[in-house]
Structure 1
Amino acid sequence: MSLLVLGLSHRTAPVGLLERASLTGDAPQRLLHAAAAAVPVGEAALVATCNRIELYADVDKFHAGVADLSVLLAEHSGVDLEELTTHLYVHYEDRAVHHLFSVACGLDSMVVGEGQILGQLRDALSLAQDQHTAGRGLNELFQQALRVGKRAHSETDIDKAGQSLVTFGLERIAEVSGPVAGLRALVVGAGSMSSLAAATLARAGVTELVIANRTPERAERLAATLGARTVAFGDVPAAMAEADLVISCTGAAGIVLGAEEIAAAAAKRSARTPLALLDLALPRDVSAEAHRIDGVHLVDLETLAEAAQSTAAGALDVDAARRIVGAEVDAFGAAQRAAAITPTVVALRAMASEVVGSELERLDGRLPELDGRARAEIAQTVRRVVDKLLHSPTVRVKQLAGEPGGASYAEALRELFDLDPAAVQAVAGAPARVPLQAAVGGDSA
């Protein structure tokens, strides 16, 4: 497997660009199919969060893979390729694995150590599985990344070094509005981030929790679990005027809370503290004009990105997590390299077995007078000799294959013993690559 990662995140791109590049509607599915159908690509997965958009692909050609995936990301995100390219990062093979494992541990998050990324990686894998764009390679890779992330969170205190984006945002709100406890809160949206926000507010002790969502049933289910009440989505402006804190994360393609609605809500408030708005959506739900409205305190992803740069996580916990990532990358690479040579070793032993069988048949023809016992003894002796001759080299080659550059040993075995590539491929159980459209019967665009 030759893993390629191509993407952009809060570390390489301004929030405004991430907002314009965000994938809405069925764009993630269409991008996945287009990526997996590209000529250099065998498998593909997409990680799309409010802080990053990354394509993971198994490619047979590095430069062609980078070129094709860059064009596809530009086409499906709607951002000009030239502008997008200046903010893209590319990782390949071990560096790509290292990047994914770091992401899983929260080391590459806006809020270092946050654990929500594990759920987002699970969602990314599920989407690729559902769309039939992830095969054995990416499945094993993402499953291992999830295990590495869990290990980092269980063996270090990186959870204390970081926190969820919701908690981080509420801390920025508290700097102006004071503690969340005792506030009246409105949550707009009922997806995973909004649900996390609502649950966090309930635990924090808000005096009132109101939930609004375009699909009322989802809002009602969430409200029932938290002892909250719901309002119709069309009544959000009126509910906003009665709230002290509004958190919005809907996944809508356009602005949900406009400047005029926010200004009107702020004007109706009699409280001295400003109306606090926390926008966790990408693209944004809350108009950026709210930053300039009197009586309003807006914290959005751009604000959080700036604050995160000045927030130091626990250095010891981060270092410990990084050591875990380094060790896991080495172990994963060694296991992958060792596994890659197994089909060649099996094919070699199968060829040796065929040669032994053929020679024993010739012996039967030349010495038909041999009795059954003698034939069995000769056959056992020949097979034992072949097994002994092959044992040490095949064990050693598996060990060597686990080291960096170990792939060359499989090639050496194939050349030295003139193994049929088709036989090795058959042992590996990997059918020849076919276009994704033919495999799933769908359109790539």
Structure 2
Amino acid sequence: MRIIAAGLNYKTAPVEIREKLALSEQEIADMLAGLRASKSMMEGVILSTCNRTEVYAVAERKEQFMLDLAYIMERKFNLSKEQFAASFYVHEDNAAVEHLFKVTSGLDSMVVGETQILGQVRDAFLYSQSLPATGAVFNRLFKQAVTLAKRLHTETRIGQKPVSVSYAAVELAVRKIGALAGKRIVVVGAGHMSELAVKHMQARGADRIIVINRSYDRAAQFAGRFGIAASSWETLPELLSEAELVMTATGAAESVITADMLRRARLNRSEPLLMIDMGVPRDIDPLADELDGVTLIDIDRLGAIVNENAEARAKEALKLTPVIQKERNDFALWMKELGVAPAIAALREKADAVRESAYQDMLKKLPELDERERKVIGKLTKSIVNQLLRDPILNIKELATGRGGEAAIEAFTRIFGIEEETRRIAEPDAADADGEDDMRNAIA
């Protein structure tokens, strides 16, 4: 089994490419189903955010998996082979595990140490698990990644400075238009990004914020939490005519503010208008930046100010490299032990069957035993079996994680005559829930 992490992010692909792969839950489900149907992927999790789309897979062959992934990218998401080759990175095994740990901990984010990605990774895993598209390997790996990220944010200073894309957007707005107090501000969208932006703007003195959303009820609830005004979607053109600052983060599939809409709005005013688009896909038509009196900032152009505020976090991140590597090595050891788990489970299964058969024969030959005596003998026979198995199991675990581990496992199964049982437990299609429990118990 190989663990593969393949994807693109804000470092490897511009927003025009990333917005093509801003996947809905249904698209993620379809993509995972397609990859599993192709037999090139045994387990999968897809992480899709405004700054990255990554496919994590447990696969037998990396080459076949990447061919199938490239085919889906081209056919379903209109990403050419050239764009795929130029934008996608691939990590394998230990490198893939380390990459996931860094992503989940915020060490690979545009804003180093940000915590939003932790929840996004957790949600991506839980959704894939619900399909179900995960198994023993990813159930373990993603739980470890989330636990590690929580610990790093609690025990270090990696997340102390308040930097995020929304924070950077507000800082940039202050630089461009000055103090926010008294400025007419329109926030388009009522999601998490907009919530952070409003918090940061109010902290900088903003007191004339109006939120607008396609669902007025959601806009009204959002406004109630922050003591600001809400307006219906139909009033957007009118609000654009009056605003001095517009911030957007809707998650819509296409632009919600067009250049034509802005041209009409500009006819009614003379003040400059600053527009900050935090959405992927973009909420504002890029042509808006060409209009007189309009300054448009998209999410990629926020990178510079983000970097200014991230220097301290970057220094802290360097200190975390040994911690990440230790966690990576711990998982690699678990993976090696996972290879021997079917053999251990098969040995225990055979030993339990032999013990139970001998115990039942004894009961038939000694019918005068009372219930207490039977329990005592039952516990004694189980204890004998466990003591006999203890050293062989400890030794094969040690041998399996070293050089020549596969040969050691093969010899182990032949010595105890458990080849067939081991194959039955190891094969996912043949193994039932009890077999999976046996493997987990064997590792414990």
TM-score by length of 1: 0.83
The alpha carbon displacement at 1:176 in A equals 1.4
Structure 1 equivalent of residue 439 of structure 2: none
The alpha carbon displacement at 1:49 in A equals 0.8
Structure 2 equivalent of residue 158 of structure 1: 158
More displaced 10-residue stretch of structure 1: 212-221 or 290-299: 290-299
- Tell me how many residue pairs correspond in the alignment: 425
Decide whether the 8 Å contact of 1:115 with 1:163 is kept in 2.
no
Decide whether the 8 Å contact of 2:276 with 2:298 is kept in 1.
yes
Residues 1:296 and 2:294 are matched in the alignment: yes
Give SS of 2:323's match.
helix
Counterpart-to-counterpart distance in 2, 1:46 and 1:88 = 14
Per-residue Cα deviation, 1:92-116 (whole angstroms, up to 9, x for no partner)? 2221111111001111111111111
Counterpart-to-counterpart distance in 1, 2:107 and 2:317 = 7
The alpha carbon displacement at 1:254 in A equals 1.7
More displaced 10-residue stretch of structure 1: 333-342 or 207-216: 333-342
Per-residue Cα deviation, 1:313-352 (whole angstroms, up to 9, x for no partner)? 2243111233322222122222333344233223224434
Decide whether the 8 Å contact of 1:161 with 1:317 is kept in 2.
no
Structure 2 equivalent of residue 221 of structure 1: 221
Task: Decide whether aligned partners of structure 1 residues 198 and 57 sit closer, same or farther in structure 2, where only a CA change above 3 A counts.
Answer: same
Structure 2 equivalent of residue 12 of structure 1: 12
The alpha carbon displacement at 1:266 in A equals 4.7
The alpha carbon displacement at 1:270 in A equals 5.2
Structure 2 equivalent of residue 441 of structure 1: none
The alpha carbon displacement at 1:132 in A equals 2.3
Counterpart-to-counterpart distance in 1, 2:12 and 2:21 = 13
Give SS of 1:158's match.
coil
The alpha carbon displacement at 1:429 in A equals 9.3
The alpha carbon displacement at 1:281 in A equals 1.1
Decide whether the 8 Å contact of 2:168 with 2:305 is kept in 1.
no
Structure 2 equivalent of residue 313 of structure 1: 311
Structure 2 equivalent of residue 391 of structure 1: 390
Counterpart-to-counterpart distance in 1, 2:23 and 2:59 = 23
Counterpart-to-counterpart distance in 1, 2:126 and 2:294 = 39
Structure 1 equivalent of residue 436 of structure 2: none
Decide whether the 8 Å contact of 2:111 with 2:307 is kept in 1.
no
Task: Decide whether aligned partners of structure 1 residues 407 and 311 sit closer, same or farther in structure 2, where only a CA change above 3 A counts.
Answer: farther
Decide whether the 8 Å contact of 1:240 with 1:265 is kept in 2.
yes
Amino acid at match of 2:292: D
Decide whether the 8 Å contact of 1:334 with 1:403 is kept in 2.
no
Give SS of 1:160's match.
coil
User: Which runs of 5 or more residues in structure 1 are unaligned?
Assistant: 373-377, 435-445
Per-residue Cα deviation, 1:34-89 (whole angstroms, up to 9, x for no partner)? 22322121222211111111111221222111211222233232212332122111
The alpha carbon displacement at 1:199 in A equals 3.6
User: Which runs of 5 or more residues in structure 2 are unaligned?
Assistant: 370-376, 433-444
Structure 2 equivalent of residue 278 of structure 1: 276
Amino acid at match of 1:220: A
Structure 2 equivalent of residue 443 of structure 1: none
Residues 1:46 and 2:46 are matched in the alignment: yes
Give SS of 2:159's match.
helix
Following TM superposition, the consecutive aligned residue runs of length 4 or more in structure 1 with deviations greater than 6 angstroms are: 356-364, 378-386
Counterpart-to-counterpart distance in 2, 1:303 and 1:163 = 15
Structure 1 equivalent of residue 22 of structure 2: 22
Q: How does 1:249-398 map to 2 (within 5 A)?
A: 249-266=249-266, 268-269=268-269, 271=271, 274-305=272-303, 308=306, 313-314=311-312, 315-352=314-351, 390-398=389-397
More displaced 10-residue stretch of structure 1: 318-327 or 128-137: 128-137
Counterpart-to-counterpart distance in 2, 1:351 and 1:222 = 61
Decide whether the 8 Å contact of 1:111 with 1:168 is kept in 2.
no
Task: Decide whether aligned partners of structure 1 residues 380 and 184 sit closer, same or farther in structure 2, where only a CA change above 3 A counts.
Answer: closer
Amino acid at match of 2:69: L
Give SS of 1:41's match.
coil
Amino acid at match of 1:77: F
The alpha carbon displacement at 1:91 in A equals 1.4
Structure 1 equivalent of residue 374 of structure 2: none
Decide whether the 8 Å contact of 2:43 with 2:134 is kept in 1.
yes
The alpha carbon displacement at 1:423 in A equals 4.3
Q: How does 1:118-129 map to 2 (within 5 A)?
A: 118-129=118-129
Counterpart-to-counterpart distance in 2, 1:413 and 1:35 = 35
Structure 1 equivalent of residue 65 of structure 2: 65
- Using the aligned pairs only, state the percent identity: 32
Amino acid at match of 1:398: K
Structure 2 equivalent of residue 410 of structure 1: 409
Give SS of 1:33's match.
helix
The alpha carbon displacement at 1:383 in A equals 8.6
The alpha carbon displacement at 1:415 in A equals 4.2
Structure 1 equivalent of residue 437 of structure 2: none
Decide whether the 8 Å contact of 1:158 with 1:321 is kept in 2.
no
Structure of greater relative contact order (alpha carbons < 8 Å, 6+ residues apart): 1
Per-residue Cα deviation, 1:167-211 (whole angstroms, up to 9, x for no partner)? 122222322122445433211112332333334334443112211
Counterpart-to-counterpart distance in 1, 2:205 and 2:328 = 42
Counterpart-to-counterpart distance in 1, 2:88 and 2:403 = 27
Structure 1 equivalent of residue 210 of structure 2: 210
Task: Decide whether aligned partners of structure 1 residues 120 and 384 sit closer, same or farther in structure 2, where only a CA change above 3 A counts.
Answer: closer
The alpha carbon displacement at 1:9 in A equals 0.9
Decide whether the 8 Å contact of 1:46 with 1:53 is kept in 2.
yes
Give SS of 2:42's match.
strand
The alpha carbon displacement at 1:408 in A equals 5.7
Give SS of 2:252's match.
coil
TM-score by length of 2: 0.83
CA RMSD across the alignment = 3.6
More displaced 10-residue stretch of structure 1: 167-176 or 105-114: 167-176
Amino acid at match of 1:278: I
The alpha carbon displacement at 1:284 in A equals 0.8
More displaced 10-residue stretch of structure 1: 78-87 or 304-313: 304-313
Counterpart-to-counterpart distance in 2, 1:379 and 1:133 = 41
Counterpart-to-counterpart distance in 1, 2:355 and 2:127 = 49
